Chain A
Amino acid sequence: MSSKATIYSFLFMGLAVTALLIVAPVAYAVSLSFYQMDSFVGAPRFVGLDNYARMLSQWVFWRALINGFIYSLGTIVFQVVLGIGFALVLNQVFPGRNIVRGLSILPYLLPTVVVVLTFKWMVDGSIGVLTKVIAALGLPPVQWFESPGAAMASVILVSVWMWTPFVTTTFLAALQTVPSSLYEAAKVDGTNAVQRFFHITLPMLKPILTVIVLLRAVWMFNKFDVIWLLTQGGPVGATEHLAILSYKQAFGQFDIGGGAAVATISFAILSVAVFIYFRLFPLDTE
Chain B
Amino acid sequence: MSASLPRSRAGRISLYVAALVIAVYSAFPIYWMVVSSLRAPQALINSTSLVPGPFTLEYYRNLLELTDYPAQFANSLLVALVTVAVTMVFSVMIAYAVTRHRIRGKGLIVGAMLYAYMFPPLLIAIPLFSIFAKLGLGDTLTSVIVSHLTLTLPLGVWFLWGFFKSMPFELEEAAMVDGCTRLGAFLRVVLPLSLPGLITVAIFSFLLSWTDYTYALIMIGSDANKTVPVGLASMVGSFDLRWGEIMAGSTLIALPLFGAFALLSQYFIQGLGAGAVKG
Contact = CB atoms under 8 A, between A and B. Distances in A.
B93 A263 contact: no
B268 A219 contact: no
Contact of B93 (A14, A114, A270): A14
A191 B10 CA distance: 19
Contact of B250 (A32, A90, A93, A118): A118
A109 B261 contact: yes
Contacts of A10: 93-94, 96-97
B233 A259 contact: no
Given A225-B213, A250-B122, A283 B153 contact: no
A169 B148 CA distance: 25
Interface stretch (B16-24, B57-65, B191-199): B16-24
A163 interface: yes
Interface residues of A, number: 105
A7 interface: yes
B279 A222 contact: no
A21 B207 contact: no
Nearest to B27: A103
Contacts of B5: 92-94
B250 A163 contact: no
B211 interface: yes
A104 B3 CA distance: 19
Interface in A65-111: 86, 89-94, 96-97, 99-100, 102-111
Interface in B1-56: 1-6, 12, 15-16, 18-19, 22-23, 25-27, 29-30, 32-33, 36, 44-46, 48
Interface in A144-174: 161, 163, 165-166, 169-170, 173
B181 interface: yes
Interface residues of B, number: 104
A227 to B, nearest CB: 11
Contacts of B123: 25-26, 29, 263-264, 266-267
Interface in B154-187: 154, 157, 176, 181-183, 186
A260 B213 CA distance: 20
Interface in A236-276: 242-243, 246-247, 250-251, 256, 259-260, 262-264, 266-267, 270, 273-274
Interface of A: 1-3, 6-8, 10-11, 13-15, 17-18, 21-26, 28-29, 32, 40-41, 86, 89-94, 96-97, 99-100, 102-122, 124, 127, 129, 132-133, 136, 161, 163, 165-166, 169-170, 173, 175-176, 178-180, 183, 211, 215, 218-219, 221-222, 224-225, 228-229, 242-243, 246-247, 250-251, 256, 259-260, 262-264, 266-267, 270, 273-274, 278, 283, 285
19 contacts: A10-B97, A22-B116, A90-B22, A94-B15, A106-B261, A109-B207, A109-B261, A118-B250, A124-B241, A136-B48, A166-B277, A170-B275, A179-B1, A222-B120, A243-B120, A251-B218, A263-B123, A266-B120, A283-B110
Given A22-B154, A102-B265, A117-B247, 4 more contacts: A91-B2, A106-B258, A108-B279, A263-B126
